[in-house]
Structure 1
Amino acid sequence: MSDTVTGNGGIGRASAFLASGTIVSRILGFVKVIVLTAIIGAVGATADTFSIANQLPNTIYTIVAGGILTAVLVPQIVRATLHADGGTAYINKLLTLALVILFATTLVATLLAPMITGFIGINLPENQKALAVAFAYWCLPQMFFYGLYTLLGEVLNARKSFGPFTWVPVLNNVVAIIGLIVFAAVFSPDPAGDRSAVDTTAAMVAILGGSATLGVITQAVVLFYFWRRIGLRFRPDFHFRGVGLGAAGKLASWTFGMLLLTTYAGIIETQVVTLAHGKASVAVLATAWLIFMLPHSVITVSVATAYFTRMSEHASVGNWSLLKTDASSAIRGTSLLIVLATAVIAVCAYPFAAVFVPFDQVPAVGNVILAFIVGLVPFCLLFVLQRTFYAIGDTRTPFFFTLFQVVLLIGAVLACALLPTDWIAVGIATSITVTGTLQAVLAAILLRRRLGGIDGRRILRSLVKYFAAAMLPIGLGLTLLFTLGVAGENDFAVSSRLTAMVSMVLIGLVMAAAYFGLLLVMRSGELTAFLTPLRARLRR
């Protein structure tokens, strides 16, 4: 499970390998969500409290280490390879320090579970707060193992071994699915979400929360095997002076502030959406976000991760021209597929919802998906722009354009509390889309000033071409959707999981054929570059 990046061909191979692992993991992730909603529902006390508790480790871990590791670790390890030992001492010292911080934070967060959970679920009834706290005790230890997974994985990425980081989450999903199957075998499923908080027993909490945490533990520990495969050995080293950790600390401080801002905004979102408990609330928002993140994870993260290491290498030797070329290529390459993904998911929002929830809940989930998906393209562009700042060792600027977005978002989300309960989740998703788009525009302007240009005209021409090519496919997709039927409970596109998936496949194939056909007619250079290696493989 390794791939070495050498030139554009290597970028393509690494991106494809990363994408393949992400696709398998995401498919299993969707299977997990389908099984979860079939067992505890998408609305109701159990669904919302488990969703809050299972998101807690991600939330707190993100504050402490998540983005800091991504922003700092890869560029610093790339620079540390210039040391006489190839960066080994730096890696051991950095990993030791990070694990100590993670362990201490996880312990404190677990001890403070009632306070943290009570603050996030402030609008929940008391019995649901107590259930959320019980889930939190089982789920919060995930923080340490998420951190361990990210640390080990980012070191592998910096050493150009890209596969394991995206493939081992498959194990996480498998373990979690097995836990859900055990739950269904022992207790009666509740797909409508009618089970009250007081009817959810300690054994139910242990199986749901424990299996989720066991999956994360498995995902992290397995990466030690891949460290050994590339010749790395972790030896704890508590002598932190002398290898430049101070520079990493300065970079991390700005990223810490940025993540504190975004996490606070996320807490406000959860507090407001819980006002809609019994309607489209926390679990619905999380499910729609999972669908939104699918193309981003498969396409943008796979491409940007492969480019990120190379951009960091260019920045370490001051080759700004090649860095800008790589950033432009990453943006144009991801946008080619992300525009199509946006169009397909927008058209298929209701069938997508029908895969996860009963028909009476399809409009609630479908509308949230639509509100999110409009912002997919700027969200993916922002990801590449942010990674470009990180590659040049600038974490200060991302803090300020994130502050800009968070201030706008908190105001918009608080205003959503005034909406009817059926529309609160939709309003929050729309707020995230609008403020995220403005953030992406500001980030592009600031990066252009910093680098003296980012190939903006070429990027803009490509985006205009992609959106123009998507118009006809959208029309064809909507025509096919309404022909299949989407309005009534017995209509083909939403009548069952199977018919919904068949509808999405048919619509997706028609839209993709029209989209790529139009881009070929338009002589898109990015599409030609995308198809050239595929043609070469087919000829061989």
Structure 2
Amino acid sequence: MSARSAIGSMMAATLVSRGLGFLRAILLVAAIGGTSAAVGGQTFENANSAPTYLFALIAGGVLGAVLVPQIVRNLHGGPTGQENTDRLLTVVLLGGALATVVLTLCAPGIVWIFATGWSAEWRDLATSMAYWCLPQIFFLIAFAVLSQILNARGVFGAPAWAPAISNLVGIGGILVFLALLPSGRGDADTWTPGMVAVLCGSATLAIAIQALLLLVPLRRIGFRVRFRWGFTGLGQTSTLAAWTFLGVVAGQAAYLVTSNVASNAGKTLKILGIDGPSLNSLSIAYLLMLVPHGIVTVSVTTALYTRMSAAAARKDLAEIGALSQRATKPVAYVSIAATAVFVVLGPLITQVLFGSPIIGHVLQVLAIGLVGFSQAYVLNRTSFALQDARGPFVTQLVIAGISTIGSLLALLLPPELTVIGIAAGIALANYAGWVTAHLMLRRMLQKHGQLPAGGPGALLVAARLLAAVFVSIGGGAAIVSCIGTPTGFLSQVALLATAGIGVVALFVAVNWILGDRTLDPWHG
């Protein structure tokens, strides 16, 4: 499959998956709330996000950075390469199973770590949810392993479509909750074991099905998981994994600070009777912000990552630089256009989706850092293809440090602005991460005698994009200001569609007038 076909397939799958994810988020907010007013929404966010962050800590970053380049190299290593792949998968899968059991047993401590300021009643509810949610860790690891194997073999469709099926299962669970159980918007003492089991059990079932679905395409390509003991041939892998793990540790340490600050703000607002942004609001805003990143950035980079890894195995640095440059331009185009839409229409988007503009105010601030987040992602993947994990580690350290400082400074703000302050720190950190990733990759390429692309051409592209984003934000704001925010749902949808089309059209038109041709068909 060509890169263009692979990217198209993944973008379609991701678009469907994100659409279903939106529906799931809408139903979840309807069931348990999405701001500080709902105890269930806050405790479920604590319990259900813990598996994701613990997965990232123990395996997520390592698997994404290490598996594809290593498996691509092993494909050309004959029987020895296959044995090394078997040993790598054995260590990851069995180690992940053991870690999942231990972490599930530690649910009370994990809940406390992520929300030290909560009352015992809130922590008890979150802990009962966490016992159901933490087994997701193993299935997240399994999905990451199996999808990376498929990607290394050039199979991209199945890993991209599996999350869509997972979202359907999650939606089904929430619909059962809404139809058969009491409202989850009450206080902690209104939650029953049955409510916890249906909500959290269906969330874990969705992740399990997402992983198990990949066994079908693996069987079709003739791959079998063979458990093989030992660490022979994993020396380079372990070195890369160590650097990657340190970067993930830095990121998770920063999230611990963010989680506690945001959780305490949500608790305070609940006590004061103020409906404002809390940790679950930040999480939902992040989900919205990552839609264009998931559809375009991840799709483009995933399709080119295997080719970068193959070029690195051939020591073709010029090809790696060209592929990285090929990814960064469309990623910048889409992420900046999305930023304009989110900055202008964030509150209206969440008013239409969730019946409240509160989450949208957080989205407006988070979105400012979207382009930095996406560009750093592409550059770090390029470094990983070169089997350089030190650069991404430094990048993650910078992002973690600045976002931590931002969260701590947010403590100085009133509780209704605390999460907004956290979002501002994250946005700034993403730009600092982009600059750091660029400098580290440039240093790496120059070390091997390859001059990275850039110069006046890159500055011209940046100038065009900046001009377009300012014009589109100004035009979109003028449309919203002239029309005003209507009260009826259909009128709000109409305004959202009109202003959204206007912002995007202005962005595309200004870029086109200034000579940008990013939207022209490209071949891969």
Does TM, normalized by the shorter one, top 0.5? yes
Corresponding residue of 2:59:
65
- Residue 236 of structure 2 is aligned to residue 247 of structure 1: yes
1:520 partnered with 2:512: yes
For residue 277 of structure 2, give the secondary structure of its aligned residue in structure 1. Answer: coil
Cα RMSD after superposing both structures: 1.7
The equivalent position to 1:418 in structure 2, one of 384, 390, 412, is 412
Taking the TM superposition and a 5 Å limit, the aligned residue runs for 1:490-501 are 491-492=486-487, 495-496=488-489, 498-501=490-493
> Which stretch of the first structure deviates more once superposed, 161-170 or 439-448?
439-448
Q: Can you list the C-alpha shifts for 1:371-406, whole angstroms capped at 9, x where unaligned?
A: 100000111110011101101000112212322232
Structure 1 CA distance for aligned equivalents of residues 34 and 299 of structure 2: 29
- Residue 256 to residue 151, structure 1, CA distance change in 2 (3 Å): same
Who is 1:264 aligned against? 253
Name 1:171's counterpart in structure 2: 165
Q: Shift of residue 529 of structure 1? A: 4.2
Residue 469 of structure 1 pairs with residue 463 of structure 2? no
Amino acid at match of 1:320: L
The aligned amino acid for 1:299 is V
> Equivalent of 2:344, from 339, 343, 347?
347
**C-alpha distance in structure 2 between counterparts of 1:342 and 1:381, whole Å:** 13
Q: SS at the partner of 1:394?
A: coil
Task: Give the CA deviation at 1:499.
Answer: 4.2
Contact residue 370 and residue 430 of structure 2 kept, 8 A: no
Unpaired segments ≥5 residues, structure 2: 271-275
Distance 1:404 1:168 in 2: 33
Q: How does 1:17-56 map to 2 (within 5 A)?
A: 17-43=9-35, 44-56=38-50
Larger mean CA deviation between 207-216 and 81-90 belongs to 81-90
Summarize the Cα distance change of 1:23–1:499 in structure 2 as closer, same or farther, 3 Å threshold.
farther
Aligned residue number for residue 454 of structure 2? 456
- Alpha carbons 1:328, 1:459 under 8 Å: kept: no
Q: 1:161 to 1:502 in 2, by over 3 A?
A: farther
Equivalent position SS for 1:173: helix
Tell me how far apart the structure 2 counterparts of residues 341 and 407 of structure 1 sit (CA, whole Å): 26
The amino acid that maps onto 1:459 is: A
Q: SS of 1:456's equivalent? A: coil
User: What is the aligned residue count?
Assistant: 509
Which residue in 2 is equivalent to 1:538? none
Assess, with a 3 A threshold, how the Cα gap between structure 1 residues 87 and 167 changes in structure 2: closer, same or farther: farther
Name the residue aligned to 1:224.
215
Q: Within 2, Cα distance between the matches of 1:185 and 1:528?
A: 48
Distance in 2, Cα, partners of 1:460 & 1:70: 31
Quick one: distance in 1 between partners of 2:491 and 2:69? 47
What SS class does the counterpart of residue 523 from structure 1 fall into?
coil
Q: Which runs of 5+ in 1 are unaligned?
A: 5-9, 534-540
How far apart, in 1, do the equivalents of 2:24 and 2:483 lie?
27
Q: What is the aligned counterpart of 1:196 among 187, 190, 194?
A: 187
* Contact persistence 2:343–2:365 (CA under 8 A): no
Bigger Cα displacement from structure 2, 227-236 vs 31-40: 227-236
Distance 2:20 2:165 in 1: 9
1:482 aligns to what? 481
**One-letter identity of the residue aligned with 1:209:** C
SS at match of 1:527: coil
1:284 equivalent in alignment to 2:276: no
Amino acid at match of 1:344: V
CA displacement at 1:164 relative to structure 2: 1.1
Aligned to 2:316: 319
Q: Is contact 1:275-1:417 (8 Å) kept?
A: no
Cα separation, 1, equivalents of 2:493 and 2:71: 43
Measure, in 1, the Cα distance between the counterparts of 2:68 and 2:493: 39
Cα distance in 2, alignment partners of residues 156 and 127 from structure 1: 44
TM-superposed CA distance for 1:222, in Å, is: 0.6
Q: Is the 8 A contact 1:336 1:527 kept in 2?
A: no
Contact 2:380-2:391 at 8 Å conserved across structures: no
Is residue 338 from structure 1 mapped to residue 338 from structure 2 by the alignment? no
1:440 to 434, 437, 445: 434
Match in the other structure for 1:102: 96
* Matched residue type, 2:262: V
Residue 203 (structure 2) aligned to one of 203, 212, 219: 212
The equivalent residue for 2:138 is: 144
Contact 1:179-1:212 at 8 Å conserved across structures: yes
Task: Give 1:471 deviation, angstroms.
Answer: 2.8
What are the Cα deviations for residues 24-55 of structure 1, in whole angstroms up to 9, with x where unaligned?
A: 00100010010011111113210000011000
- Relative to structure 1, the CA distance from residue 229 to residue 459 in structure 2 (aligned partners, 3 Å threshold; closer, same or farther) is farther
Aligned to 1:303: 300
- Tell me if the contact between 1:14 and 1:162 (Cα under 8 Å) persists in the aligned partners: yes
Displacement of 1:163: 0.9
Q: Confirm or deny: 8 A CA contact 1:37 1:356 kept in the other structure.
A: no
1:158 paired with 2:152, answer yes
Residue 366 of structure 1 corresponds to 360
Aligned-residue offset at 1:134: 0.4
Deviations 1:395-449 (A, max 9, x none): 1122123222322322221121121010011000000111221121122112112
Corresponding position of 2:273: none
